[in-house]
Amino acid sequence: MAVRLFDALSVETQYFRLCIQEATNSLATAYKGAPSTVLKDLETLLLKYTQEEQSEVRFCAIRWATSLFELQHCPSRYICMLGAADIKLDIREIAFEGLFLVEDDGSSMSKIKQLHYPKLGDMLDYILSQQPNLSESAVDQKLQFPSRTYLVIIEFLLKCFESELEHNTSIKGLSQFQSSVEAMCLLLEHAMAYEGSVELHAKASNALIAIGSRIPELVASRYAKKVPWLKQLLSHIDLDTREAAARLLGIASSVLPIDASCALISEIIASVRGINKLRFEVQYGALCALGYVTANCMSTKPAIPEELFQTTLKLLVDVVNSETATLASVAVQALGHIGLVVALPSLIVESSSVDILVLLQERLTKLLKGDDSKAIQKIIISIGHICVNETSSACLNIALELIFSLSRSKVEDILFAAGEALSFLWGGVPVTADLILKTNYSLSMASKFLMGDPSLSLSTHSPIEMNEANQDRDAMVREAITKKLFDELLYSTRKEDRCAGTVWLLSITMYCGHQPAIQKMLPEIQEAFSHLLGEQNELTQELASQGMSVVYEIGDVSMKGNLVNALVNTLTGSGKKKRAIKLAEDSEVFQEGVIGEGLSGGKLSTYKELCNVANEMGQPDLIYKFMDLANYQTSLNSKRGAAFGFSKIAKQAGDALKPHLRSLVPRLVRYQYDPDKNVQDAMSHIWKSLVEDSKKTIDEHLDLIIDDLLIQCGSRLWRTREASCLALADIIQGRKFDQVGKHLRKLWSAAFRAMDDIKETVRNSGDKLCRTLMSLTVRLSDVTLTDVSDASQAMDLVLPFLLTEGILSKVDSIRKASIEVVMKLAKGAGIAIRPHLSDLVCCMLESLSSLEDQGLNYVELHAANAGIQTEKLESLRISIAKGSPMWETLDLCIKVVDAGSLDQLVPRLGQLVRSGVGLNTRVGVASFITLLVQEVGVEIKPYTSKLLRLLFPVVKDEKSAASKRAFADACAVLLKHTVASQAEKLIDDTAALHAGDRNAQVACAVLLKSYSSKASDILDGYLAAILPVIFISRFDDDKHVSGLFEELWEEHTSSERVALQLYLAEIVSLICESIATSSWASKKKAAQAITKLSEVLGESLASYYNVLLQFLMKEITSRLWEGKEALLYSIAALCVSCHKAISTDDSHTLNEVLRVVSSACTKKAKKYREAALSCLEQVLKAFGDEEFFNEAFPMLYDMCNASALGASGKATLAGSGAKAEEDHIEQVHVPHEKILNCMTACIHVANVKDIHEQQKNLMQVLTTALSPGFPWTVKISAFSLIKELGSSVHKVVVDPQQSNDHANIILLVRELFHSVAPLVVECISTVKVGQVHVAASECLLGIMKLYGDLRSINCTNVQFEGTLLHLYEVEKNGEAKSLLKKCVDALENLKLECPRDN
């Protein structure tokens, strides 16, 4: 099956390969535990498939190798080695996983011990079986594997080598193991083939060094025979390879005969001193080798000759003085390696003895000031090596001076190198010369640049032996170092000095801590590190905290206790005052950029710059604030640094820290939420070190933690406030009431205070705390999630606070959060909220206005200017308010109200009705009362009287229409539940409002509208009281008021006539009351009501005409007031509708009406006179009394004369030369057409005799009216008068009984035909109005017909005949043209008939 799947992977298309690959990988598990024969076959199969072209096949082969076989299985590991060089990344990654190549860090040894690597011999045997050429000599051999495969093979074999030695160190002497090592060396030599990569050469050469460090004898003896080969590698282009070859050459030289060693040294010296300039790599390798070989030779007995030794040293000194920094550093390194073994002797220069360091001092000083940091590192470490066996005070002082010159270097690696050198100078470093010379060991690397655990990295090596005779030398060196560190560097005003001092002090403490001198200095060292915990420089701070850990580890019991107390005090802020440092001008107080730039744009960090800014701003005392800020920053940094040190000590301190937990835990909890990520990380390390079970610890100290955090929420430091809020938000989540109940109110207070903080980040943390508290409070107050008693207590604690402190806050975010919480509390608390109902309801109602967007108020103030209707805007505001969370909360409150709650709630609502401000609050309280009454029903009955006394005046006083409606609705729903007497009084009071001002009238209409919609059953019993009010109020001058009552009238009446007849008595009574009042508006409305009654009821009003007429006649005689003309119109309407009853009942009343109306016609007010004339016209027509002509016509004639005088400006009526009528229209004070209309009515009721008596005056009126001085409207009225006159005359003509008046009629008709008819024709000619043409044509035709009926008249001489014919021809109006045609025909007939009659 496996073969088939692998073959399929090889031949199938790409589309199927993925499926087959998945199946193949799944199949591997089926072969686990298979028989050895099957597994053996699989090994061959997988090895074969690793060479396939398709990547899927290779991937599956390596996957099978890693999943089927253990790590000790050599064939499968070999397959992984092959796969590690694959071109596909995924294949390489899975191959590395199968080889378990762990990184070489501090934990590698423990990992190696856990892994079971194959034995070195077994793995090598399998590799050799696959590549037999590897067992042959490496000379001129080509690479047997690709370079990347070789790299993996070497690394894995080294793991096997180290693993085997770790498990059994005694196998070093076994011949079998040594033969395996020999085979591995051979493989490494093959890897050094010329075609190998640089990386492979470096890896292989360093692997040889690694083997040599574990089995030096074997390596030394093997490569003592391969010195020529190693000498070739000294010129390798790769630096690591050159140095490894030099080290191997040194190891090999240790077993060479002294002659051979001397020859080797001489050969190297000769190559360096040769005439031909060597390549850089050759020189570099030669100098390296010279150091290693000479050092190893000097450590053996016998040593090389003194002369050769001097020659070697002189060569190295010459190179230092003459070559570049890189080669000079290599030469100094060689001197250092020699100095590790023996003290460097003085050189003979010009027959005088000079110490080497004295010779090199100037050159080294120059090199240390250079830019090549790697060269400087080598030089400075080498100086330390040189001084290991040095006893000359001059040389030691030079070395110290050179090292101390680097105190202000900003390159960290140089500082670490200098620290390592000082440690060698101090003495007692836990390394041997062989360790440095024969391995790749480095103090800095071993200690992870001072940040590692010294007990693990340095304790495995024994120190260089110290000569007791050199105690004076050691004391001198240590005193110089101590003085430099403690008197100059550690407490310097420059951060660079402090950083260097920290690195060097920690180096000496860590590398030489076992020395009694260090033990005695531990208190001073601890104080120095404690002081440096507050450094801004992260390296200084971290190393200081590491130093505290080192001091704790190497100190005694008393020292450990003092250190723990000091760290605890630093963390809790109660530490002793730190050593004062005098500031210089260039002392850096802040890091550059931390507090911005100076006024001129320059940097602002040093003490001098801060003083300058304070002076420039005119505030010298500002420097103290800067210093306070700097001290706080230092304090914060101290806590962070102490945290790093504490986290390392805590694991070791154990029980010593338990007494401090009570003071530490609250602070540590807070510091874990500090805005500074570095402080967070540091405190988290402490927390994890101190606390095994975080949740349990917090639970045990919860009250203590919360109390401390609540106090710190009010700290003057923003970062403390922010951290406290974040910590509280985290630790109170999910708590029960018994845990946080006592703190709830304080927690809310802290949250609100943070939400109003000046710092944005603190406000954000306050928002987070508020959200957490919201969730907690809602859960604790929800009776479905918490015990009823606990929920009630939580509600008692939180709700009053939110209502008083939260919702009424001036901070928008606090108000919104409070409302949201309150709403959620009301939703979840159910009946538990009843004790707080009155407070909650009133608060929510007030919030409807107080929390409204102020922009809406602004818009309403300027609504008129913006063209926005106020009522629409109010409706918008109310709809927004009713969609708010406050209204939603009120809805929830209504649902839980019971009879017991009303005792407290109703008085508070009443108070709010009286004193509440804001549209939304006013409407809200009214709407809430409405909904409340609807919800509780009859239970509101005891409170209806009180509420109605409050609400009814409010409806009248409210200016807003929306508020009026809302309070009216509240009154209406209360009306349903009040007693009968109270209901009657309310309705009567409501009806009485109609007689008040506009506001009262609107209130009356709104109230009646609400009663009708919400208490119609109650209102139906009082229709007799309200319908008269509604009827009369329909006629109010204010269109809005009249419109409201019109709607009410239409709503309550299906038939207007029936309703008026049904309630006529009440209506008439109210009308009479209104006319009798002193209010002109009421009189006017009553008059208009009478007019409407007359129009609708007609004769049905006859039974009440007398009383109505009396009130009207009485009021007509009183003083004139605006709108009084309505009385005249009502008299006219009443006379028209009840003329029969008036004529029948009392003739005196008839005459009195005529007198009153005639008298009104003489008033000066234009509008009133017009109304009087109109009234007179209707009265004349209504009664039709012939006597009225003689009484009215003279007055009308006089009025016509007065009107004619005003229109023409002449002394006589018939004056000529008048201006055009348009110029005089506005000067007419009496409407002439009204007078003519009244005359027409007089003619209608008069007999012919009376008309004849007034013939002259009548003709004069007509000729005047038809003159050009009057507008065309007057002419229309004149035409009507002529037609009415013709009609009256025609009745006499056709009535044979009135033949006595025939002669008078002929005279009248003749005058009409000869005097008036030409004026009519002239009007047609001059007035360009179609209506005038039609009316004039009708009038002219009537005169002609009337003239034709009187055949005795001669009509041969007609002056206007030609004009008439011309007018007919040019007339454009069709109707007028038709009439004119009839006139022309009638005139022709007259002309034909006249001769025959004669």
Q: Mean pLDDT, to the nearest integer, of 673-679?
A: 83
pLDDT at 663 over 50: yes
| Bridge partner residues of 596 (DSSP) | 593
More confident residue, 908 or 1233: 908
Res 454: pLDDT: 62
Query: Which DSSP letter does residue 1228 get?
Result: -
More confident residue, 519 or 1306: 519
> Percentage of residues in the chain with pLDDT exceeding 70?
85
CB count, 10 Å around CB of 311?
A: 16
> Can you list the pairs that 101-104 forms with residues at least 24 positions away whose Cβ atoms lie under 8 Å?
101/152, 101/155, 101/156, 101/159
pLDDT tens sequence across 876-891: 888 888 888 888 888 8
Res 110: pLDDT: 44
pLDDT tens sequence across 689-703: 677 788 888 888 899
Query: CA torsion 135→138→142→144, rounded to 10°?
Result: 30
Res 1146: pLDDT: 67
Res 438: pLDDT: 85
Q: Mean pLDDT, to the nearest integer, of 100-121?
A: 61
Res 867: pLDDT: 64
Tokens of 518: 């260090």
pLDDT tens sequence across 559-585: 777 776 766 666 565 555 445 455 555
Q: Residue 721 carries which side chain, given as an amino acid letter?
A: R
Confidence band for 1227, pLDDT divided at 50, 70 and 90: very low
More confident residue, 1231 or 233: 233
Show the beta-strand stretches assigned E in 771-869.
none
Task: State residue 593 phi and psi, 5-degree precision.
Answer: 95, -10
- Cα separation, 122 vs 371, whole angstroms: 50
Res 784: pLDDT: 82
Longest dimension (CA), the chain: 192
Q: Which is nearest to 526 in space by CA: 504, 507, 545? A: 545
pLDDT tens sequence across 967-996: 999 999 888 888 888 888 988 898 888 888
Res 632: pLDDT: 46
Res 111: pLDDT: 46
Res 618: pLDDT: 57
Res 1222: pLDDT: 36
pLDDT tens sequence across 490-506: 988 888 999 999 999 99
Res 334: pLDDT: 93
pLDDT at 1219 over 50: no
More confident residue, 1359 or 103: 1359
Q: Put residue 1270 in one of left, alpha, beta given phi > 0 → left and psi -120 to 50 → alpha.
A: beta
Q: CB under 8 Å to 696, separation ≥6 — which residues?
A: none
pLDDT at 337 over 70: yes
Confidence band for 1153, pLDDT divided at 50, 70 and 90: confident
> Percentage of residues in the chain with pLDDT exceeding 90?
17
Is residue 1216 exposed (0-12), middle (13-18) or buried (19+ Cβ within 10 Å)?
exposed
Task: State residue 855 phi and psi, 5-degree precision.
Answer: -60, -30
Q: Mean pLDDT, to the nearest integer, of 1252-1274?
A: 80
CA distance from start to end of the chain: 152
Res 668: pLDDT: 83
Q: Mean pLDDT, to the nearest integer, of 821-825?
A: 85
Q: Put residue 575 in one of left, alpha, beta given phi > 0 → left and psi -120 to 50 → alpha.
A: beta
pLDDT tens sequence across 626-645: 444 455 455 445 555 545 55
CB count, 10 Å around CB of 11?
A: 9
Res 520: pLDDT: 87
More confident residue, 43 or 486: 486
Query: Which DSSP letter does residue 256 get?
Result: S
Res 453: pLDDT: 67
More confident residue, 228 or 691: 228
- Cα separation, 394 vs 1270, whole angstroms: 141
CB count, 10 Å around CB of 860?
A: 18
Res 580: pLDDT: 47
Res 462: pLDDT: 56
When the pLDDT of each residue in the chain is averaged and rounded to a whole number, the result is: 81
- Cα separation, 1043 vs 658, whole angstroms: 87
Q: Mean pLDDT, to the nearest integer, of 261-266?
A: 91
pLDDT at 597 over 60: no
CB of 193 within 8 A of CB of 232?
no
CB of 1129 within 8 A of CB of 1083?
no
Out of 17-31, 59-73, 1000-1014, 1258-1272, give the one with best mean pLDDT: 1000-1014
More confident residue, 748 or 29: 748
Q: Which is nearest to 183 in space by CA: 139, 135, 142, 143? A: 135
Q: Where do we find the tokens 């070791």?
A: 652
Query: Which DSSP letter does residue 1130 get?
Result: H
pLDDT tens sequence across 858-872: 676 666 666 677 777
Q: Which is nearest to 345 in space by CA: 301, 379, 392, 303? A: 392
Q: What is the per-residue burial (b if ≥16 Cβ within 10 Å, else e) of 217-240?
A: ebbbebbbebbeebbebbbbebbb
pLDDT at 1233 over 50: yes
Secondary structure (3-state) at 429: coil
pLDDT tens sequence across 1042-1083: 888 888 888 888 888 888 888 888 888 888 988 888 888 888
Res 106: pLDDT: 41
